[in-house]
Amino acid sequence: MKLFLDTANLDEIKKANEMGVIRGVTTNPSIIAREGRNFQQVIREICTIVNGPISVEVISNQADGMVEEAISLAAMHPNIVIKVPMTAEGLKAVKVLSAKGIRTNVTLIFSANQALLAASAGASFVSPFVGRLDDINHYGMKVVEETVTILRNYGFSTEVIAASIRNPLHVKKAALVGAHIATIPYSVLMQMVQHPLTDAGIEKFLADWEKVKDK
Ligand code: E4P
């Protein structure tokens, strides 16, 4: 399973990229707004750091507007993937963009049927939201699992991105159910890096080394 970083924060993206573990970045309007900077500048800078799909979301809610925005965003860099909301208008836009060779990531997916529709329309990626379903007492990872099975059953090339990831357990479960990608916040990446036994082990090795280093 590949890991994408779910942020537009350049410091976080640089740090994660230096660790060699991320293969792409996902953003959404809320994530971009957190940076408080010029949107296009932020996206351009992300594209200079990570060499992989960079998802950028359209704002329009009509297919024509989505397509227009998508064409202009896709022209910014070849790695840009257009995030389109899972609506009837979004599906229409995905069909048009797919025919133009512009990659799409259908977002705000909360059921396997929505994912099937998005893949059928030609989406390159579908993003079921795990955490937001868990928040309302539904089992979010089940949607990821069902989506992976359905798309595999019928040979879709669409990749499944487990999104709205809130903790390391979500990441592990996404990998176990066969998601192609999990897009994760930087905080979750750092939680995955750390283990108290690793810290204790390093401390013990260094303490033992101190005893003999000058002998
Ligand atoms: C990524 O594609 C999604 O926009 C993001 O994972 C949503 O996460 P949230 O539910 O924590 O806002």
Residue identifier of the C-alpha nearest atom 12 of ligand 1 = 164
Q: How far apart are CA 84 and CA 86, in angstroms?
A: 7
Taking residue 82's Cβ as centre, other Cβ atoms within 10 Å add up to 25
Number of domains in the chain: 1
Helices (H), 100-139: 112-121, 130-135
What integer is the mean pLDDT of 134-162?
98
Taking residue 22's Cβ as centre, other Cβ atoms within 10 Å add up to 23
Residue identifier of the C-alpha nearest atom 10 of ligand 1 = 164
Q: How confident is the model at residue 178 (pLDDT cuts 50, 70, 90)?
A: very high
Task: Give residue for tokens 């660790």.
Answer: 19
Q: What is the pLDDT of residue 43?
A: 97
CA 172, 176, 181, 182 dihedral sign is negative
Backbone φ, ψ for residue 107 (5° rounding): -110, 170
Confidence (pTM): 0.96
Q: How confident is the model at residue 214 (pLDDT cuts 50, 70, 90)?
A: very high
- Identify the CATH number of the domain in which residue 23 sits: 3.20.20.70
Q: Tell me: the pLDDT tens digits for 19-38?
A: 999 999 999 999 999 999 99
Q: How confident is the model at residue 77 (pLDDT cuts 50, 70, 90)?
A: very high
Helices (H), the chain: 10-18, 29-35, 39-49, 63-74, 88-99, 112-121, 130-135, 140-153, 168-176, 186-193, 196-212
Q: What is the pLDDT of residue 211?
A: 95
- Ligand 1 pocket, Cβ-based, cut-off 6 angstroms: 6, 26, 28, 107, 127, 129, 131-132, 163-164, 183
Taking residue 133's Cβ as centre, other Cβ atoms within 10 Å add up to 20
The domain of 103 spans 2-212
